[in-house]
């Protein structure tokens, strides 16, 4: 019975092969890697005011589960060296929605991702007490645009997310902007 359910689930999730009326069908698996920047609108020179600006990288994988939806999981690592050394790791997963067919080599997408952010702040002092760290709930809501470069190779021209993390003593809501390469198979 267990094997029968697995076979039925795979058959239902298997994408359509061939061409749709609007163009080529989006491949089942997509891997993204690129540059990311996380920032807010405050004073970029001060962490003490609760404002920050991080640069780093992001990697994610999407598996399509239907013609218009997939599940994406991602990891981001950002850092900054202002007022001490700050390191932020994001782990997010959730649904991603995009049209079944590619229109003129362009795929728009939208997603809602949940997970957690783990941050480490080193105040630069000589003792271990000068380091603070913690993990909190995070959510990212956004979308982007992938442009076809060649067979299996795409350029993520933009991915923009509203990113919220429940960091003490207040809540941080920021923007996250990413761009990079997508491999689709």
pLDDT at position 129, please? 59
33-88 tens-digit pLDDT: 999 998 765 544 444 455 667 899 999 999 999 888 999 999 999 988 766 677 88
Report domain extents, the chain.
Answer: 2-184
pTM of the model: 0.75
* pLDDT band at 167; cut points 50, 70, 90: low
Measured from the Cβ of residue 125, the count of other Cβ atoms closer than 10 Å reads 10
Mean pLDDT (the chain, rounded) = 79
* pLDDT band at 12; cut points 50, 70, 90: very low
Residue 29 preceded by cis peptide, ω within 30: no
Spatial separation of the C-alpha atoms in residues 26 and 145, rounded to whole Å:
13
One CATH from 3.30.9.10, 3.40.50.1980, 1.10.8.60, 2.40.160.20 for 2-184: 2.40.160.20
Q: Calculate mean pLDDT across residues 137-156.
A: 94
* pLDDT band at 162; cut points 50, 70, 90: very high
102-135 tens-digit pLDDT: 778 899 999 999 999 988 877 666 655 566 788 8
DSSP track, 127-183: SGGGEEEEEEEEEEEEEEEEEEEETTEEEEEEEEEEEEE--SSS-EEEEEEEEEEEE
């Amino acid at each position: 019975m267990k094997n029968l359910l697995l076979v039925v689930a795979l058959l239902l999730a298997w994408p359509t092969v061939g061409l749709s009326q609007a163009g080529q069908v989006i491949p089942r698996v997509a891997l993204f890697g690129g540059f990311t920047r996380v920032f807010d609108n405050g004073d970029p020179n001060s962490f003490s005011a609760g404002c920050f600006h991080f640069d780093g990288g992001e990697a994610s994988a999407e598996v399509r589960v239907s013609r218009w939806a997939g599940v994406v999981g991602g990891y981001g690592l950002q850092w900054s060296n202002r007022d001490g050394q700050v390191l932020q790791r994001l782990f997010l997963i959730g649904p991603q929605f995009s049209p079944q067919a590619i229109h003129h080599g362009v795929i728009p997408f939208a997603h809602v991702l949940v997970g957690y952010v783990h941050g480490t702040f080193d105040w630069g002092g000589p003792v271990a007490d000068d380091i603070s760290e913690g993990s909190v709930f995070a959510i990212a809501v956004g979308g982007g645009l992938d442009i076809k470069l060649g067979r299996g190779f795409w350029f993520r021209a933009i991915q923009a997310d509203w990113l919220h993390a429940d960091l003490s003593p207040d809540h941080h809501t920021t923007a996250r902007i990413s761009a990079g390469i997508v491999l689709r198979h």
